């Protein structure tokens, strides 16, 4: 039984929607940073909220585009590359002490990357 890789696109819409919406992104960042060494004060800093909001808007737009266009090996390959890079940054955040939840997010992105890799190796 193959896992539908398009479910990852749908999950990305949900994740990036939270980051794109003011207020929700502050709650998400506060939750994420509550398990780290940085403290909660940085979670509500306007620069952090603005950068996460912009990243959320860009990620949301790209996730919606991926859902709207026909799949191709190129889109799956690019999605694989993004998941690998994102998991690297998330793991870096974890080892830097930003948050223990970063490790969980990194593992989720690695699993998503593996699903994309399987889709490239064995197209359905």
What pLDDT was estimated at residue 48?
85
**Gap between the Cα atoms of 66 and 72, Å rounded:** 10
Nearest alpha-carbon partner for 41 in 90, 105, 49: 49
Name the residue with higher pLDDT: 36 or 31: 31
pTM: 0.86
Band of residue 117 on the pLDDT scale cut at 50, 70, 90: very high
pLDDT tier, 9 (very low <50, low <70, confident <90, very high otherwise): very high
Burial label for 112, CB within 10 Å (0-12, 13-18, 19+), is buried
Give the model's pLDDT for residue 21: 94
Q: What confidence category does residue 35 fall into, taking pLDDT thresholds of 50, 70 and 90?
A: confident
Q: In whole numbers, what is the pLDDT of the chain averaged over residues?
A: 89
């Amino acid at each position: 039984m193959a896992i539908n890789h398009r479910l990852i696109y749908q999950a990305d819409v949900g994740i990036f929607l939270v980051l794109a919406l003011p207020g929700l992104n502050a709650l998400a960042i506060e939750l994420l940073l509550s398990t780290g060494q940085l403290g909660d004060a940085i979670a509500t800093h306007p620069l952090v909220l603005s950068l996460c909001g912009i990243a959320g808007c860009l990620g949301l737009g790209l996730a919606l585009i991926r859902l709207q266009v026909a799949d191709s090996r190129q889109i799956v390959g690019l999605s694989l590359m993004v998941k690998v890079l994102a998991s690297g940054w998330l793991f870096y955040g974890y080892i830097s002490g930003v948050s223990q939840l970063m490790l969980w997010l990194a593992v989720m992105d690695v699993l998503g990357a593996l699903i994309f890799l399987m889709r490239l190796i064995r197209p359905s």
